[in-house]
């Protein structure tokens, strides 16, 4: 079955995952890009790319019909659900978005439709939680009247090299027929091809494994960095030596935020607890990574004290506030952990990020984001996110904005050449 034989595809959730999918499918199909956020839809209809991933021109020239009206997704052949699956304050799965999306789709289902979930969940959610909602709202029978499947998203915000089209897509279906239909659908847009998983649960589990593995590896690097810091060893120097071995896994220490790696392991932890198993390794990795913001802030305070600078009412410039480099996504950014911890010491903070949205930062975190680099002096500068746009920062600049003869640069990810700054008398600290 060729994809251009499909009459209509509805993609629910117009964020970093759903938007690229909608645009890719729209090249040969009628696509409805649905989101309950009216302001978001209106921005897309004006040709504004809120994600900054595809560009305004791609939005303007696409044939996607963006809508917040549930009636527009009725009679779709495919419903692809890409809504967030966050966690509660108690670190347990929060299914409100995926359940709400399932209810919306259920009311629009017709016989012969296929529903595909891309949101990250633990094994069993698609079949045990979502499918019953679809049946209840539609009055139809899953497997007889409509089919379901799961295809974990692998979008990497800010990554211009690994794009939707060139990342292998894992696909699954409730039976062989649905598996082949779903595989053919994605094969029409995924140049790298698809991998047919054995079952929906296998596909769900594979996504948890991907993110938990990365989380644990970064936690290992963070633990090493904290110990080596006590030994006055530079972690980057250590890693540069270690990675000369052919099979060394090239992970680096840092803040672990965002909507996937810092969240998805809790779905595994929760399911394991339900089954009577207490996770040890995965939960330990989460605990280490969750504390890194406070650890970094503590070291900034030590740097101030050790260099005869006052802590209370000191002036610190934070460069970068998004959850990762070269993207505008601020969801669950751990830079806020640094900021909040420093504020608890009475530190005055300015934040500059050329990629983050001022209104979004203000609304979500009550932070006044500077439009341009502030023209004032500081006790310390913290390069929190290694955006390429910060490559111009040099020793002369750091010295020019220092309010004394002991300039301090905290380069969390060793983005800049430390030797250049040390040679110029700048106090340098990094993970």
Give the DSSP H/E element, type plus range, for residue 32.
strand 31-34
Euclidean distance between CA atoms 27 and 16, whole angstroms:
18
Q: Which residues pair with 411 in a beta bridge?
A: 383
Euclidean distance between CA atoms 417 and 135, whole angstroms:
58
Catalytic residue among 130, 142, 260, 327: 260
Q: Is 260 a catalytic residue?
A: yes
Handedness of CA 154, 35, 367, 340 (dihedral sign): negative
C-alpha separations of 13 from 38, 68, 98, 162, 297 in Å: 12, 10, 10, 21, 35
Per-residue tokens: 359: 């209104």
Euclidean distance between CA atoms 196 and 179, whole angstroms:
7
CB 14 within 8 A of CB 34: yes
Euclidean distance between CA atoms 370 and 409, whole angstroms:
19
Q: Which residues contact 324 (CB under 8 A, 6 or more apart)?
A: 157, 158, 257, 258, 385
Relative to beta strand 315-319, strand 408-411 is unpaired
Residues shown for the chain = 431
Ramachandran region, residue 39 (left: φ > 0; alpha: ψ -120 to 50; beta: rest): alpha
Give the DSSP H/E element, type plus range, for residue 324.
none
Q: Which residues contact 323 (CB under 8 A, 6 or more apart)?
A: 255, 257, 258, 259, 329, 330, 331, 332, 333, 334, 335
By annotation, the residues acting in catalysis are 260
């Amino acid at each position: 079955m060729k994809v251009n034989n499909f009459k209509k595809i509805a993609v629910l959730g117009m964020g970093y995952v759903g938007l690229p999918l909608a645009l890719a499918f729209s090249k040969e199909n009628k696509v409805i890009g649905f989101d309950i956020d009216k302001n978001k839809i209106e921005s897309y209809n004006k040709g504004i790319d809120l994600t900054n991933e595809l560009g305004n021109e791609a939005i303007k020239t696409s044939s996607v019909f963006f809508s917040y009206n549930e009636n527009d997704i009725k009679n779709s052949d495919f419903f692809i659900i890409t809504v967030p699956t966050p966690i509660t304050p108690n670190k347990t799965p929060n299914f409100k978005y995926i359940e709400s999306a399932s209810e919306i789709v259920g009311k629009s289902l017709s016989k012969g439709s296929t529903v595909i979930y891309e949101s990250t969940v633990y094994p069993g959610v698609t079949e045990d939680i979502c499918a019953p909602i679809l049946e209840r709202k539609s009055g139809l029978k899953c497997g007889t009247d409509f089919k379901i499947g799961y295809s974990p998203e692998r979008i990497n915000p800010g990554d211009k090299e690994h794009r939707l089209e060139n990342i292998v897509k894992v696909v699954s279906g409730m039976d062989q027929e649905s598996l082949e239909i779903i595989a053919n659908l994605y094969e029409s847009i995924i140049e790298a091809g698809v991998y047919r998983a054995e079952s929906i649960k296998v596909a769900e589990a594979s996504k948890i494994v991907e993110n938990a593995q990365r989380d644990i590896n970064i936690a290992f690097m963070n633990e090493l960095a904290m110990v080596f810091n006590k030994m006055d060893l530079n972690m980057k120097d250590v890693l540069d030596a270690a990675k000369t071995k052919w099979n060394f896994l090239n992970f680096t220490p840092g803040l672990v935020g965002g909507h996937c790696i810092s969240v998805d392991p809790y779905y595994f932890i929760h399911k394991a607890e339900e089954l009577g198993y207490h996770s040890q390794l995965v939960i330990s990795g989460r605990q280490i990574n969750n504390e890194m913001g406070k650890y970094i802030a503590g070291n900034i305070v030590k740097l101030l004290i050790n260099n005869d600078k006052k802590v209370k009412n000191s002036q610190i410039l934070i460069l970068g506030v998004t959850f990762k480099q070269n993207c505008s996504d601020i969801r669950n950014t751990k830079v806020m952990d640094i900021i909040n911890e420093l504020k608890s010491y009475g530190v005055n903070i300015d934040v500059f990020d050329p990629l983050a949205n001022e209104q979004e930062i203000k609304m979500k975190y009550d932070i006044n984001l500077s439009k341009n680099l502030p023209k004032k002096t500081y006790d310390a500068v913290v390069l929190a996110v290694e955006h390429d746009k910060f490559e111009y920062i040099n020793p002369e600049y750091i010295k020019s904005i220092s309010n004394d003869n002991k300039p301090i640069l905290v380069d969390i990810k060793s983005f800049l050449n430390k030797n250049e700054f040390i040679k110029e008398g700048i106090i340098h600290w990094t993970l």
